[in-house]
């Protein structure tokens, strides 16, 4: 994969981090802690539940948020990882429906910058080549397809298309810069 694709997404995502991202991350952590406490409470014997109060539910729940340098959702990362592992002939490795596995990936995205940057590349590749996505070969793509790949990183619809057009401008700058450094 051309590193300009990763660089352009990283520039865009890092530039747009704001305090609401920290709030969204805090909600995910709070929700996970509550779910673990509830799971522990539910596993208590019935007679212990007579003496122990259930955990107090948070005011707001959020099981996922875009996080880390690449602002990636755990669900997106799990889908990309599973697609990658299936392509290698491995069994699916992660179950997003398992709160512990989903949180493990989300927390790694949040705390491990190298993992997050690697996932930016994998999410771009997944969006480009996975069946049912764009079905493109990332090594033989035209500029219009690059815009589609960059848009797909952000989702679907007109806002994603606008994102793809914006990030494509960064992509062209990184291409020129990277080629001038050779």
Contact 154, 163 (CB under 8 A): yes
Q: Any idea where the domains of the chain sit in the sequence?
A: 3-17+65-180
Query: CA–CA distance from 54 to each of 15, 37, 99, 157, 178 (Å)?
Result: 41, 8, 19, 42, 56
Q: What is the pLDDT of residues 28-54, one digit of tens each?
A: 999 999 999 999 999 999 999 999 999
User: pLDDT tier at 141 (50, 70, 90 boundaries)?
Assistant: confident
- Enter the tokens of residue 7: 């660089």
Mean pLDDT computed over every residue of the chain: 94
Q: What is the pLDDT of residues 74-111, one digit of tens each?
A: 999 999 999 999 999 998 789 999 999 999 999 999 99
Share of the chain above pLDDT 90, in %: 84
Instruction: Kindly report which listed range (93-97, 140-144, 145-149) carries the lowest average pLDDT score.
Output: 140-144
Say if residue 164's pLDDT is above 80.
yes
pTM: 0.91
């Amino acid at each position: 994969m051309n590193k300009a694709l990763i660089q352009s997404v990283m520039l865009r995502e890092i530039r747009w981090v704001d305090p609401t991202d920290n709030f969204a991350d805090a909600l995910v952590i709070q929700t996970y802690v509550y779910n673990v406490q509830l799971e522990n409470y539910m596993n208590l014997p019935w007679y212990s539940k007579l003496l122990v109060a259930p955990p107090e539910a948070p005011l707001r729940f959020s099981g996922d948020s875009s996080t880390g340098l690449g602002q990636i959702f755990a669900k997106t990362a799990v889908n990309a990882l599973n697609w990658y592992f299936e392509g290698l002939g491995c069994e699916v490795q992660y179950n997003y429906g398992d709160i512990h596995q989903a949180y493990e990936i989300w927390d790694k995205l949040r705390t491990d910058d190298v993992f997050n940057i690697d996932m930016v590349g994998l999410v771009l590749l997944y969006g480009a080549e996975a069946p049912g996505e764009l079905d493109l070969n990332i090594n033989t793509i035209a500029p219009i397809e690059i815009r589609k790949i960059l848009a797909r990183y952000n989702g679907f619809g007109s806002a994603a298309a606008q994102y793809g057009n914006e990030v494509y401008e960064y992509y062209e700058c990184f291409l020129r810069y990277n080629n001038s450094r050779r």
